Amino acid sequence: MLIGESAPMRSLNRQIERVARSDVTVAIFGESGTGKELVARAIHQRGPRAAGPFVAINCAAIPEALQEAELFGHERGAFTGATHARAGCFEQANHGTLLLDELGEMSMSTQTCLLRALQQRAIRRVGGSTEIPLDVRVVCATQRDLRAEVESGRFREDLYFRLVVFPIEVVPLRDRREDIALLLDHALGVLEGGRRVRVRRDALDALDAYSWPGNVRELFNIVHRSILSCEGGEITAADLPEYVRRAPAPAAVTPLAEIERAAIERALAACGQSVTKAAEMLGISRATLYRRVAQFRAEGDHALPSLQRRPRVLRPSEAPNAQVSPSRLRRAPASRRRGCRATQQRTD
């Protein structure tokens, strides 16, 4: 189950829904314990291969000499100890999905065989001579930077472009702290074994402040340990590991509105409540300053002074019934005056 309602988890679910309906190769990146295999299972279960098998293999847990045999199988007598033929992970995942976990740990020789299998959509068992056609969707997962591995020569570039068609990044738990409470409830339901266990507020605060280097896997570990050590069906901060209790609290973030309010208050105090000077100091217009102060006061913040707009003094020329001085009247040109007299005489 993919537990979480944070923005990163909503984005992750949208990516899974988008890619699950296709048959494209998916590469899942993320730190250890973030749930990369759960993402691979979700892709399998939500796609057209859900009725087929899901096979996962951890490349880091297989010795280099046995990686090819585990992936592609082997025939009887192919090497010492091969007393009978055995199907590899590719054959076991036929018409389903194969997860290659910790792909960055695969040897260069196995990478070459894997590239050929992906290109030909067929495999050949170790010690065998016949091609076995297969219909397998490959999903890989790793915590390594494969692009950096390619540049360092530890990973084949052609295989990289074969596998990293649709990359998915699983964010660490410290970047989606709003999901900790949901994951905690889920872990309690799975691990409490029928006991009614609650988590006290001080324990929740300590868990929220922790950095979670082991991600979701570490959270389940800590919850299991706390259930066994708590008394009275309640987990307190004292039941948590000491390194969790001593974790520094995350840095507080001041809302922008509070920063703006404090800046306006300081500017007005420094300028003796002069709106003009305070607006110049803040780099805003007088109208904006009036509007922001009125908005803060309407929201219940009466620490700011009530600024009264001063009535605008109109210039004489802007007055509604202003009389224009005769001295400011301009006389019409002489040609126009002569034309006006001629028109008057003809009318008479």
Angle at 306 between CA 303 and CA 309, to 5 degrees: 155
Please state the pTM of the whole predicted model: 0.68
Confidence grade of residue 102 (pLDDT, cut at 50, 70, 90)? very high
Confidence grade of residue 258 (pLDDT, cut at 50, 70, 90)? confident
pLDDT tens, position by position, 259-312 = 888 888 888 888 877 888 888 888 888 888 888 878 777 766 666 676 666 555
**Domain spans in the chain, listed from the N-terminal domain onward:** 7-171, 174-245, 256-298
Q: Is 84 exposed, middle or buried (0-12, 13-18, 19+ CB in 10 A)?
A: exposed
From residue 115, give the alpha-carbon distance in Å to each of 67, 111, 152.
14, 6, 19
How far apart are the C-alpha atoms of 218 and 198, rounded to whole Å? Answer: 19
Q: CATH number for 256-298: choose from 3.30.950, 1.10.3470, 3.30.450, 1.10.10.
A: 1.10.10
Closest to 139 (Cα-Cα) out of 109, 170, 179: 170
Question: What one-character DSSP code corresponds to residue 312?
Answer: P
Residues 6 or more apart in contact with residue 12 via CB below 8 angstroms: 2, 39, 168, 170, 171
Q: In CATH, what number does 7-171 get?
A: 3.40.50.300
Give the class (CATH, top level) of 174-245: mainly alpha
